[in-house]
């Protein structure tokens, strides 16, 4: 009898603890972290990595966190994040549509040099959504030839990026962020916010946003699909001029997809591709959204 009573008492204590925890979670879900805590969340997410994290209020454009300050202002090559600007240039200029398809058989000659895509056998035939989600270089090389250098450079300037060169010799390399443009983390967050604020009235921008959502649901940023939040974003892994095998990592995105609260940009120096930036973004999103993320 005594043991049964003890077990009952323990069970009700456990239930009480569960209730207390649930109400604490509900409370944290209501409040976004304050500036100091968000800064700590971002710095902890970066950890030992050299790089930067910027979090911006999607509605007001206020910078909620930009750490560390020097790195968040340093212009770096955007790598494949550039594909969202290339896609916008093509869509808004009427050179491509959401149903434009190109074939990727892994390799394409660009400027006399054979360049490869990430998938050994190639991505096959892709439309725009799939090309953004899978970050297919060969698709974007072919799109770039149709869109043209001037249109892509203009789109970069329209997105508010200052580090845009006047002339670029390869539209293909410009299209995938290997040449012609350097972007700071702060500018990258601003660029994402432009997607977020203009998508309602600009069909081309809505298609770009949709492509970014696809990168999370079925593409290169899939790791963020398990957070219990509807995140959208684009990865990038620009190689260094001095050593093509050493790559930086980028992630630029926003959440939640339908009613965005924050835009986020993460850059990791020599981050061995986006594999660094995506996990950092995951930590920041979990920290910001608290119990609303898993």
Residue 143 as a binder of Zn ion (CB under 5 A): the answer is no
The number of angstroms, rounded, from the C-alpha of 272 to the middle of its chain's C-alpha atoms is 16
Provide the token pair at 228. 């219990």
Q: How far is the CB of 98 from Zn ion (least distance, A)?
A: 18
Nearer to Zn ion, 117 or 153 (CB): 117
Beta partners for 232? 254
Residue 175 as a binder of Zn ion (CB under 5 A): the answer is no
Residue 181 as a binder of Zn ion (CB under 5 A): the answer is no
User: Beta strand pairing status for 163-164 and 124-126?
Assistant: unpaired
Q: How many residues sit in the footprint of Zn ion (CB under 5 A)?
A: 5
Residue 123 as a binder of Zn ion (CB under 5 A): the answer is yes
* Close Cβ partners of 165 (under 8 Å, ≥ 6 residues apart): 153, 179, 180, 181
Provide the token pair at 210. 């949709």
Of 252-281, binders to Zn ion (CB under 5 A) are none
Q: How far is the CB of 223 from Zn ion (least distance, A)?
A: 20
Q: How far is the CB of 140 from Zn ion (least distance, A)?
A: 9
Query: Which value, to the nearest 10 degrees, does the dihedral of the CA atoms of residues 163, 134, 89, 139 take?
Result: 110
From the list 85-93, 135-143, 185-193, 262-270, the region that binds Zn ion by CB under 5 A is 135-143
Residue 161 as a binder of Zn ion (CB under 5 A): the answer is no
Q: How far is the CB of 125 from Zn ion (least distance, A)?
A: 10
Give the residue from 147, 263, 161 showing the smallest Cα distance to 209. Answer: 263
Of 76-115, binders to Zn ion (CB under 5 A) are 104
Could you give the 3-state DSSP secondary structure of residue 256? coil
From the list 6-14, 65-73, 132-140, 197-205, the region that binds Zn ion by CB under 5 A is 132-140
Which of 136, 181, 189, 252 forms a contact with Zn ion (CB under 5 A)? 136
Element (H, E) at 253: strand 249-255
Query: Which value, to the nearest 10 degrees, does the dihedral of the CA atoms of residues 212, 216, 217, 222 take?
Result: 150
Q: How far is the CB of 212 from Zn ion (least distance, A)?
A: 18
Which of 117, 183, 189, 224 forms a contact with Zn ion (CB under 5 A)? 117
Query: Which value, to the nearest 10 degrees, does the dihedral of the CA atoms of residues 166, 168, 174, 180 take?
Result: -50
Binding residues vs Zn ion (CB under 5 A): 104, 117, 123, 136, 138
């Amino acid at each position: 009898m005594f043991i049964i009573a003890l077990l009952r008492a323990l069970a009700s204590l456990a239930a009480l603890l569960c209730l207390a925890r649930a109400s604490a979670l509900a409370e944290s879900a209501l409040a976004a972290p304050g500036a100091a805590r968000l800064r700590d969340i971002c710095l902890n997410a970066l950890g030992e990595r050299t790089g930067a994290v910027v979090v911006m209020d999607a509605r007001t454009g206020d910078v909620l966190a930009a750490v560390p300050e020097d790195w968040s202002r340093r212009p770096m090559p955007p790598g494949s994040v550039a594909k969202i600007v290339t896609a916008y240039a093509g869509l808004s200029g009427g050179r491509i549509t959401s149903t434009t398809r190109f074939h990727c058989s892994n390799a394409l000659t660009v400027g006399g040099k054979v360049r490869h895509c990430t998938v050994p056998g190639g991505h096959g035939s892709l439309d725009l959504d799939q090309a953004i989600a899978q970050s297919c270089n060969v698709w974007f090389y072919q799109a770039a030839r149709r869109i043209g250098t001037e249109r892509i450079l203009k789109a970069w300037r329209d997105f508010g990026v200052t580090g845009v060169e006047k002339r670029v010799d390869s539209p293909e390399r410009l299209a995938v962020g290997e040449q012609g443009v350097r972007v700071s983390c702060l500018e990258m967050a601003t660029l994402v916010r432009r997607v977020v604020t203009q998508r309602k009235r600009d069909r081309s921008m809505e298609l770009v946003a949709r492509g970014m959502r696809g990168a999370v649901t079925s593409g290169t940023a899939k790791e963020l699909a398990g957070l219990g939040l509807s995140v959208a974003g684009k990865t990038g892994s620009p190689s260094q001029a001095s050593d093509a095998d050493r790559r930086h990592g980028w992630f630029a995105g926003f959440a939640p997809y339908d009613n965005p609260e924050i835009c986020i940009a993460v850059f990791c120096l020599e981050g061995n591709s986006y594999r660094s930036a995506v996990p950092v973004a995951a930590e920041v999103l979990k920290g910001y959204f608290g119990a609303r993320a898993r």
